[in-house]
Structure 1
């Protein structure tokens, strides 16, 4: 049974996180976060988002809020120790309750062909294909290409890594967003790497025989622009106190 999206936005329970765990992101997201003027590269919750196909500031803000909200609903519903697939199902269900049309998810297993590369470099060829070709997701690909050791402490990297550590494996979420006058389409891609817990930031993990295998999931998600614009203020109101700990701008690429 589908809930009215505005009612769901107003009443669905969401995960709460201790303020101390938001340090390193909240400073960049709090007073300095301009939700109404997000750049083409953003991390929202656990997802590195490319908005280069979405010129609308309103849609950039609305989609970011919706994806963060759906993630927090899922975390509250299934708990932080739930299996990855259970969390993903709850996340996609929450997006559906917010009015998105969520297509089927294509799952496949694969291997990184080159060993010794850091994850952020090794993942690029896979993402190029999964996002739909070299012309899709240029901001995501540029952000990964340009990562250096000095970037480890940047707020968006801190946020992305924190949200990727929810499960026994590490899930890297990416999304390329495209909007026209009526709809917004999300090409959502997950790369799931299995490896033992480590303090290493997942983007800077070196691929070896243990981490070479991964599982991928690709889903197309479509939202109605008018509906997104309607529910966005309520989502913002629900998360106003700590939204800076969940959204960070990638900045200049």
Structure 2
């Protein structure tokens, strides 16, 4: 997941809204969004190379999403998969089930957003360990700092804001912004190149590239009663759509 907008308690109907794209090497194997067999309260895609996930929800009342963090050199081989932060938190067990106390220094550079029925937090491990509670509002995240004004980050935040301040009825309309392939003429370009040579320094929200590009778009919407939906659209190396999944769920309590 390389760009996303996240709204936390920013609308009278919607407790939580998220719209984001996962950008990755097309050759990296992944399982589409589904309800996992174990644990069966976890809804997410699955990275078949490392076994974790990049974004998901749990019907026990949790959401998590992770992005890589550029600007600190190439990843160090042999460290724990960053997807384990998401998987353990959503499962509610494992070494990283509580990221607010877990040792984040053992991972390559990473950003993490977690939310439950009461609170949302942003976490990062470079240049120092950061654990910050998120106030009600709208946030943007890519592979830099939270709300760093990269063009595509500002643009996806604008798309979500327009939806919130409009009718805010059909979350599926947020996919329109996630498919934008025009370079936004706003913001500040990243200061550091990506760890992935195929990713341009200044990229649109949707990256169309036969080697590295947008693999899937995801929208999550949870209302104040705890009724939620997570939707995913998947794309091939030529940017053609290969499938859609939509799963309803409930945050009880």
Q: Same fold (TM over 0.5)?
A: no
When normalised by structure 1's length, the TM-score is 0.28
State the structure with bigger RCO (CA 8 A, min sep 6), 1 or 2: 1
Name the one with the larger strand percent.
2
When normalised by structure 2's length, the TM-score is 0.28
